Amino acid sequence: MSGEIPAGWQSGRVTSIRDVTPTIREFGIVLDRAAACPPGSHVKVQVDLGGRIDQRSYSVVGQEGSTLRIAVKRQPESRGGSAYMWRLRSGDALAVAPPRCDFPLMHGAPHYLLLAGGVGITPMVAMAAQLAGRGTDVRMVYAARSAGEFAYGEELAGFLGDRLALFASDRGEQIDIADEIRRMHPDGELYMCGPLGLMEAVRGAWEEAGRPRSKLRYETFGSSGSHAAKAFTVKVPRLGAEVLVRENESMLDALEAAGVEVVFECRRGECGLCAVEIVEAEGEMDHRDVFFSPRQHRENRQMCACVSRVAGGSVTIEPAWRGDDAFAFAGPELSMGEPA
């Protein structure tokens, strides 16, 4: 284990490792102190990025006693967290934060649609198991790049049977999101986890169908954008700061390392706390958050420092935190994703 165990965290140990697809690796981690992980929970673990200690969040796929299963996709363009996790060996120690559930499964709906894209399947496995185990009316649609990239396909088929539909892009298959929504019970709920593009499509189709926002719940892994990650410069004129953001780090990490204070919470592009004002951008903005609406993204007035980037070039910003100064924070147009 690298680094001190942060206050309130505990130590865990890797007890099993298996590849559930060629690019997704599952880790069994036994905790010193058992903790309840309802479906939709995630844990933060401490990672070592070449000597710099950082944290990463991973959904809990399942829990057996004090052992949690998490799954990590190997990301060639990651900020180093997935590479660290993929180097772990059975028996290695790991600092683990108390599990949190920000994507809770609400009960009582007459019908559930679970929609997953890629590694976004990870929080959905426990949801599907619980809903199927209770005899609830549930359907899951799951898209992946290829047939070999369906993680947990057999496990899911075991408890969902023909209520599971798989869509492999390399077979030319695609989820018809509007049709799936149309077929839902009027009071049905949709749970979604996947890459940003899929999430935006689901949000758009949901609104188009006139469905209530409170019945669409989602979680993102907030790292996929429209452009490959490239290094860029962030300028903060008020502080006289000019900071290089390397291709494998976030703007938030780079600003923090340079001593520029930015408030944050989720680090996944969901809460909006890290939003900064864009004064000027040279290069195309690559908004990777789900906090702001597509229209707000097009306006390019604010960006979430934890996940959003510039596709090369530079951006001049005004951080939200100004000591005693007030900051006119526009806020999101849509506030979906929270529990009702």
Q: How many residues bind ligand FES (CB under 6 A)?
A: 14
Residue type (1 letter), 218: Y
Closest to ligand FES by CB, 265 vs 282, is 265
CA neighbours within 13 Å on the CB side: how many for 43? Answer: 34
Q: How far is the CB of 166 from ligand FES (least distance, A)?
A: 31
Closest to ligand FES by CB, 127 vs 275, is 275
Closest to ligand FES by CB, 125 vs 271, is 271
SS3 content of the chain, % helix, strand, coil (to 5): 25, 35, 45
Distance between alpha carbon 57 and the CA centroid of its chain, in Å?
8
Q: How far is the CB of 309 from ligand FES (least distance, A)?
A: 13
Contact call for residue 270 and ligand FES (CB under 6 A) = yes
- Per-residue binder mask for ligand FES (CB under 6 A), 285-324, x = binder: ----x-x------------x-x------------------
Q: How far is the CB of 251 from ligand FES (least distance, A)?
A: 10
Closest to ligand FES by CB, 16 vs 226, is 226
- Per-residue binder mask for ligand FES (CB under 6 A), 230-269, x = binder: ----------------------------------xxxx-x
Q: How far is the CB of 44 from ligand FES (least distance, A)?
A: 13
Instruction: Please list every residue from 198 through 237 that binds ligand FES, using CB under 6 A.
Output: none
Question: Could you give the C-alpha distances from 323 to 200, 221, 259, 267, 320, in angstroms and in order?
Answer: 34, 31, 14, 22, 9
Q: What is the DSSP letter of 213?
A: G
Q: Which residues contact 44 (CB under 8 A, 6 or more apart)?
A: 55, 56, 57, 96, 97
Q: How far is the CB of 291 from ligand FES (least distance, A)?
A: 5
User: Closest by alpha carbon to 116, among 105, 107, 128?
Assistant: 128
CA–CA gap between residue 42 and residue 60 (Å, rounded) = 5
Size (the chain), residues: 340
Q: Which residues contact 205 (CB under 8 A, 6 or more apart)?
A: 177, 178, 181
Closest to ligand FES by CB, 215 vs 268, is 268
Closest to ligand FES by CB, 141 vs 252, is 252
CA–CA gap between residue 173 and residue 319 (Å, rounded) = 43
Closest to ligand FES by CB, 211 vs 268, is 268
Closest to ligand FES by CB, 215 vs 267, is 267
Contact call for residue 196 and ligand FES (CB under 6 A) = no
Contact call for residue 273 and ligand FES (CB under 6 A) = yes
Residue type (1 letter), 203: R
CA–CA gap between residue 306 and residue 252 (Å, rounded) = 5
Question: Which residues of the shown chain bind ligand FES in the complex (CB under 6 A)?
Answer: 264-267, 269-274, 289, 291, 304, 306
